[in-house]
Amino acid sequence: MIHRLFLLCLLLLAGCASAPPASQQPVTRPMQSEHLPFVLSGRIAVKHEGDRSLSGVRWMHYAGADEFLLLAPFGQTVARIRSDMRGAVLDMPFKHYAAQDADELTQQVLGWRLPLSGLRYWVLALPAPKGAFDIEHDANGQVILLSQDGWVIRYTRYAAQTPDSLPLRLAMQRDGLEIQLLIDEWEI
């Protein structure tokens, strides 16, 4: 039951993402920044072994630490994942889980690994600094496909048509696991 609730919360990100209003300047990213702090809000959808889950998400990434809030449809926090150099913890009402890192924690609780070490770069349309990768760009210079560590990441929407704009929609696939991330708001 907890696994399905957590997965359900993760999948809320897969709904429709909206681009920033025309009057708002799109947020851009430095082309290479290994420790760029960010906050993103949006929705996440996960499909694994026939199970589908949906959730709102707020991800706060700082140098050496991450915090994910998984949100119910009306914005209540359903689960909180915190990860830093000391390990990772998942707190839900009446439940507490701990592991060495977020990858191990999600494997323990959900049965699949959240690739946090790469994901913190991939959401910025950057390859992780460690490991080989393949990358494809469109005519505007934006990343449309990134393959790394067995993951295939497709970028289908950006905040603007410039090479340094931030992604608003990406889909990741590996070994029967599909994760869609729709980003409604960036704070850099």
**Burial class of residue 80 (count of CB atoms within 10 Å of its CB; 0-12, 13-18, 19+):** middle
pLDDT tens digits, one per residue of 110-147: 888 888 889 999 999 999 998 999 999 999 999 999 99
CATH 2.50.20.10 for domain 2-187, yes or no, is: yes
**Alpha helix ranges (H) inside 87-182:** 102-110, 116-122
pLDDT tens digits, one per residue of 160-173: 999 999 999 999 99
User: What per-residue confidence (pLDDT) applies to 117?
Assistant: 85
Domain ranges of the chain: 2-187
Positions of the chain with pLDDT lower than 50, given as ranges: 1-25, 31-32
Is-above-0.75 flag for pTM?
A: yes
